[in-house]
Structure 1
Amino acid sequence: MTLDSSQALVDLLARLRRERRQQSGLDAALVPSDPDTAYRIAARVEAELGWTRLGWKIAATRPEMQRALRASSPIYGRVYAPFLTSSPAMMEAAPLLHPLPECEYMVRLGADLPPRARPYTEAEVREAVASISPGVEVAECRFVADAAFPPLEAILADGTGSGTLVMGAPIEDWARQNIPDQPVVLRVNGVERRRGTAREAVGHPVEPLTWLANELSRTGIGLRAGEVVSTGTCTGMIKARAGEEHVADYGEFGEIRIRFA
């Protein structure tokens, strides 16, 4: 990318976020050349927006999801503070951009994981976790899902389709709970539509969190105490429509309710 084209993409993505709208396709000259370039564009979009970063989302944690998203590894994106809410939640459907609710465990960090030369171990990352909560990410994308949908690098620059996080109460004594094998069921208007477990999708939520800690360390960003990380879908995606109520049932860990008005 040239300096002019990268700035044009930054301006475009920031404008689409501010205006809460999508566009079909993207000029090939504006598509980042590789994932690292795309992530640098995403950082510049954050600076251009001036919004407080809440934390991060992780996606494509398993090979089948990577194939669907045209990725060769897990991917991540920034999540912004205005787009965090608690359950039960009411969301206006009309302004949302092809909203895709995904049942995900959400981790809040209690300690920094700054950039360093040595990779973080899973044990070190686990020690930095303050809490784990059930949640739903309502993902959105600034590009219309049509025949002109741009390459993955454009999606990474757009924050990997980050939208709103709906969090439940923290899981009591999470380190002693069998989080990986807890069934997670998504019901829409009372009808089961999706089912899964963390083990099938991400293993334990600390596993994708460790991957993210090392990716952000490698790129000189790091993770900060207080940040929230949505660790990847346990149930896959489903489009939400006006008038629907989505209930993510995490069994003994609680439920997440979202009504799309």
Structure 2
Amino acid sequence: MTHFLADTLWTARGSGPLLPRSALAGIAGLDEAYLIQQQLAAMDPGPVAAWKIGATSPAALAAIGLDEPFFAPVKRPNMHLGAAVMAVRAAHAPLLETEFAVCMGRDLPARGTPYGRDDIALATASVHAAFEVVATRFEGGVAQSGLLAIADGGVNQAVVIGPEIPCGDPLSFDRIDVTLELAGVETARGTAAGLLWPHIFDAVAWLANHPRLPPRSLAKGDFILTGTCTGVTPLRPALAARGRFGSGAVVEAEFIAAA
């Protein structure tokens, strides 16, 4: 059953039609949702290059219909370094998120003692400006999608990793203003202080300690997207987006219609 659902979602990610939610209603719980996610990821070529954390604020949890955040791997073909030109499908209800991405400077293998903020700070190579493009392959978008969002690759389409964010004090990331501009007009603004965790390194620790994280765990070079600071903003083709992180880093992307 899980392989059938993963195959169905994989087809829909391409040129397939949106799936009715009733076709995916048989997901029994979190374990099964993550199993489908893993099976779906195995169909996507390339190694894991990043991890997304989703539903990272009380409002997002309520909107998506979950009791806790979730995570999903991002394969290398779906990660863009620097300014990107990206195709989006209007039928997949694409959304844009602006967030901090933490680049790991060392492996974080599973261990008996939980990782804490200090461990993550020591293991971090750099922190970057980033975009995530969210898209759904089932009807109704992300609203109240619950387990479907987890199974559908964490509703990730792609991530864009921008430049490193200069910051003399790692504890001050939550005070950096983050703004999103579309076609040169500011559309949204926020900070990491709106996330569920007191600091972005706490979000990475949550992921590193997660009991459902695959055996590979977090590895040197992985980028961890810690949750949107600007909410979710609808995308359409022919838009140029710019995410500003204080006065120090800008991530950029242009969106075109998928063929």
TM-score normalised per structure 1: 0.88
- SS of equivalent residue, structure 1 residue 27: helix
Instruction: Select the residue among 224, 233, 236 that pairs with 1:238.
Output: 233
Which of 4, 11, 32 lines up with 1:8 in the alignment?
A: 4
Q: 1:85 — aligned with what?
A: 80
Shift in CA distance, 83/49, structure 1 to aligned 2, threshold 3 Å: closer
What do the CA deviations read for 1:93-144 (whole angstroms, capped 9, x no partner)? 4488322110010111111111122211221122111111011111112213
Cα RMSD after superposing both structures = 2.4
Q: How does 1:111-130 map to 2 (within 5 A)?
A: 111-130=106-125
* Structure 2 unaligned blocks of 5 or more: none
Letter in 1 for 2:223: V
Q: Does residue 153 in structure 1 map to residue 150 in structure 2? A: no
Q: 1:174 to 1:141 in 2, by over 3 A?
A: farther
Amino acid at match of 2:109: P
Number of equivalenced pairs: 255
Report how far residue 214 of structure 1 moved.
0.6
Gaps in structure 1 of 5+ consecutive residues: none
SS at match of 1:85: strand
Per the alignment, residue 183 of structure 1 pairs with 177
The one-letter code matched in structure 1 to 2:65 is R
SS state at 1:242 partner: coil
Instruction: Describe the SS at the equivalent of 1:92.
Output: strand
Cα distance, 1:86 vs structure 2: 3.0
Relative to structure 1, is the Cα distance of residues 173 and 216 closer, same or farther in structure 2, using a 3 angstrom cutoff?
farther
1:59 match: 54
What percentage of residue pairs aligned between the two structures are identical?
A: 28
- After superposition, the Cα gap between the structure-2 partners of 1:24 and 1:7, relative to the gap in structure 1 and judged at 3 Å, is closer
Greater strand fraction, Structure 1 or Structure 2: 2
**Contact 1:54–1:228, Cα closer than 8 Å, also in 2:** yes
Pairwise mapping of residues 31-42 of structure 1 onto structure 2 (< 5 A)? 31-42=26-37
Amino acid across the alignment from 2:186: E
Question: Aligned pair in 2 of structure 1 residues 94, 11: CA closer, same or farther (>3 Å)?
Answer: closer
Instruction: Work out whether 1:68 is the aligned partner of 2:42.
Output: no
Alignment of 1:197-236 (within 5 A): 197-201=191-195, 202-216=197-211, 220-236=215-231
**Residue number in structure 2 paired with 1:192:** 186
How far apart are 1:179 and its partner, in Å? 1.4
Per the alignment, do residues 193 and 29 of structure 1 end up closer, same or farther by CA in structure 2, a change over 3 Å counting?
Answer: closer
| Amino acid in the other structure paired with 1:31 | G
Cα pair distance change 1:27/1:117, threshold 3 Å: same
Separation of aligned partners in 1, 2:141 and 2:207? 30
For the residue of structure 1 that corresponds to 2:230, the secondary structure is coil
How far 1:79 sits from its partner (Å)? 0.8
Q: Secondary structure at the match of 2:233?
A: coil
- Letter of the 2:190 counterpart: G
Distance 1:80 1:124 in 2: 25
1:225-261 Cα offsets, whole Å, 9 max, x none, are 1111111000100111122221111122211222223
Matched, 1:171 2:165: yes
